[in-house]
Each structure stands twice: as C-alpha cells, then as structure tokens.
Amino acid sequence: MNRKHFISWVLVAAGLVLLMAVQPYAAGYGHFRRTIMAEMLMRWGDATWQHGALMPVIVGYLIWRRRKEVAEMPEDSSRWGVVFAVCGLFLYFAGFRANNFYCGYCGIMALIAGASLWLEGRQRSRAGLFAWLMLGFTWPLPFLEESMGYQMRLLMVRATGHVLNGMGVDALVSGTALQSMPNVELGRRAGELFSVGVAAPCSGMRSLFALLVVGALFSYFRQLTQWRRLALFSTILPIAIVANMVRILILIFAAMTFGQKWAIGGATEKETSAFHEVTGIVVFLVALLLLQSASWLLNRWCGGPGFKRSRTVSRQVIAPVS
C-alpha cells in the first residue's frame, strides 16, 4: 500500500469515527440525541447483542488472513464507489432527520462499501465481500427481537409439546407455557410434575443471532463453493429451533426427576437455578453438532468439499520440504 493509498484510508476511518462517535445522531426513545457508537455500546450490554462487540475483531481477522492474496491483485478504482458513498451519505442524513438509528447503520455500511470500491476496485472489494457481510452482524437490531420473539416462543412451546406427547409425557400447552397434565388416578394436579413458562430469553432469539454468526463462519471455513456455503448457512434457523427445544426438554425432564425448583428455579428470571443457567451452553453444543452433521451430509451427497482438497494441497506443499 503506497502512502497516498494509506492516507486515503486514514481519512475514511477518521470520517467514520466522526459520524459514529462524535456526531449526535438519534434519540431513540429518549429525550436527547445519542451517537451511533453510544447506542451500540448500550445495546451490546444486552446478552442478545453481545456478539456485536466481537465483530470488528472477527472482520479484522478475516481481512488480515487474505492480505497476501489481496496484495497480489491489481489496484484499481471503480466509479460505483462514488455512487455507494453518496447513497450512504443520503441514508445517514435521512436517519438523522427521521431520528432512526437503522438508517444510520445502513448508511455506514454503504459508505464502507463505497470507500472500498473507490479505493480498492472491484476485484479487491469482491475478495473482502464476506468480511463486509460479517460486519453487518455488528449492528443491534432490536426490532427483530420484538417482532419475531413472541412467534418464536409460540413455535418453541408447540413443538416441545408435540415432542413430549409423542414420547408419552402428557403435556398441556397454554400460550407460551408448558405444564404436565392432571392425573386423577395418581392424584396429581396440573403442573405438579413440571410447569415451564418459556420467557423471551428462552424463546431462541437470544441465541439465534449469535448462532447466525457462528453458522456464517462455520459455513465459510468448512465449504469452498458459494452455493454450498449458502446451503449450509440456511440450516441455521431450524438448527437454532431444535437446539433450544433440546434445552427446554432437558429442563423439563430435570424438573420431573429432581424437582421444579432445582431444575428451573423460582417464578422470576432473577430466581433461575444454577442448572437452568448452565443448560444455556447446550444450545451451542447441539447447534455445532447439527451444523457439523449438516456439513458432513452436504459433502457426502455432493462430493467431498474442500476439506479433502485443502489437505491434498497441503500434503503437496509439505512433501518436497520433508
């Protein structure tokens, strides 16, 4: 990178800092305008969006690992970069006027794309496309949580109820709650064996966005062709649902075996048991296992992907040295 090129990127970075960290942007539900960075830091405090704080580091690594490959590509400039940059500035200003952070997020993404096309050209920008897409996970989007969360809870409860009834455990579904059926012969009341209210954190939304990040990285590194990466990534939503359902089933069977208080805890979220908290890791373990299984099936049906190919190449490189 020559000096002029370096200075251009420094100016772009300085402009982004001014737009995100210095310029007050929107008020949200408050009475004063916050900067985009202040809004992001506040949202990152929520467990649903904590992964956003890691995304700049991940994106930096993705760019760094391809630095030699990109350096061999010719430096170019595309006029489309100016178009994207102008569109980004328009979106940024529209969000400022409309008091809307989401327009600001889109504006910043368009500005970064425009700067890359203008300073690096199409070929180099294409090489960094995945890193740019991963940067999209940086931005907190609470409106998705609000609009999809309740539907995810209903789907989770109904699916778990069907599985329990299919396993011979009589379960009663009531809204977003699951409880055991009454048994007159044994003198059991409704909910005596277990009574689980699937709250918003247990709906799957809290882990869904983090799983999308994990799934995108997993698909990118485990598959070589774009369509196979997209095919593997498309399995994330059903995998997230299944993984969260497995957690709920574990909590229910633990409640039936060791008691409601030990397995789940009290009535409020602050009174959850230690076992309830530990089972949160089950979601990611099950999801990774299912992702690996889906990748294996994809390789078996479509022919070995790149993993075998990359190992072959590595042997060819290492053999002469040894």
Task: Taking residues 30-49, report their average pLDDT.
Answer: 88
Residue 20 contacts residue 37 (beta carbons within 8 Å): yes
pLDDT bucket at 83, cuts 50 / 70 / 90? very high
* Tens-place pLDDT, residues 175-210: 777 888 877 676 677 767 777 777 655 556 677 888
pLDDT bucket at 322, cuts 50 / 70 / 90? very low
What is the average pLDDT value for the chain, to the nearest integer?
84
Among residues of the chain, what percentage have pLDDT more than 90? 42
pLDDT bucket at 312, cuts 50 / 70 / 90? very low
* Tens-place pLDDT, residues 261-291: 887 776 555 567 788 778 888 888 999 999 9
257 vs 310, more confident: 257
pLDDT at 167 (0 to 100): 86
Domain limits, the chain: 3-140, 145-317
* Tens-place pLDDT, residues 100-145: 999 999 999 999 999 999 999 999 999 999 999 999 999 998 888 7
Q: Could you tell me the pTM of the whole model?
A: 0.81
pLDDT at 301 (0 to 100): 85
pLDDT at 311 (0 to 100): 42
* Tens-place pLDDT, residues 202-233: 556 677 888 899 999 999 998 888 899 999 99
pLDDT bucket at 314, cuts 50 / 70 / 90? very low
Amino acid type, 244: N
